[in-house]
Amino acid sequence: MKPMQEPTFLILTALAAGPQHGYGVITDVERISDGQVRLRAGTLYAAFDRLQAEGLIEADREEIVDGRVRRYYRLTGDGAARLAAEAERLRRHARAATARLRAAGAGGAA
């Protein structure tokens, strides 16, 4: 399976907490990434378009705010499984990196 790109990973992570609308995902992603990733509308909706086609997310409900449609999106079962697999992959890599750095640090200190 192809590694997931960071914006995709963060969008799915934002939706893992529950259904959110577009602007909610942008602010949530900013929060998750400690302000390092600020998604813009073009990137977000291109990702929504692809993730919906791949069946990883789906439209949840709509509400009208100030006369404008606000659509909520939620993670599907496939989306949750894919996010879990990706999180596990990243965890493995992070664990390996941390272990090696620790070993190297210990060797260097001696």
Partner 1 sequence: MSPARPHVAGGPGMSPLEARYRRLLACYPRDHRARHEEEMIGVLLAGARPGQTRPYPADVADLLWGALRVHARRAFGAGSAPSWRDGVALAVALWPLLMLAAALATMLLDSARTVENALNFGVAVLAGPVWIQHLAQPVAIAALLALAVRSGRRWVAALGTVVLVLGLADPWSGVLPYLVSPSSGRVLLVHLAAPNVGPLLLAQVAAAVIAFLPAAHRALAAIPRRTLLLWAPLALVGLTASKAIVRWVDVVAHQDVVVWKPVPWLVVVSLAAGYACRSAVGRRAALVLFLPAAALGDLGDLLWIPTSTALAQLGCAALAFAAGAALTRRRSGQEALAT
Binding residues for partner 1, per CB under 8 A? 21-23, 26, 40-46, 48-50, 53, 64-71
Give the chain's radius of gyration (CA, Å).
Answer: 17
Taking the least distance from each CB to partner 1, the nearer of 31 and 50 is 50
Shortest distance in whole angstroms from residue 86 CB to partner 1? 19
Shortest distance in whole angstroms from residue 98 CB to partner 1? 34
Structure tokens at 90: 């990243």
Taking the least distance from each CB to partner 1, the nearer of 69 and 109 is 69
Report the C-alpha gap between 23 and 72 in whole angstroms: 10
Structure tokens at 16: 């893992």
Shortest distance in whole angstroms from residue 36 CB to partner 1? 16
Report the C-alpha gap between 98 and 110 in whole angstroms: 18
Shortest distance in whole angstroms from residue 91 CB to partner 1? 29
Taking the least distance from each CB to partner 1, the nearer of 35 and 68 is 68
60 three-state secondary structure: strand
Residues contacting 69, CB < 8 A, separation 6+: 62, 63
Taking the least distance from each CB to partner 1, the nearer of 42 and 108 is 42
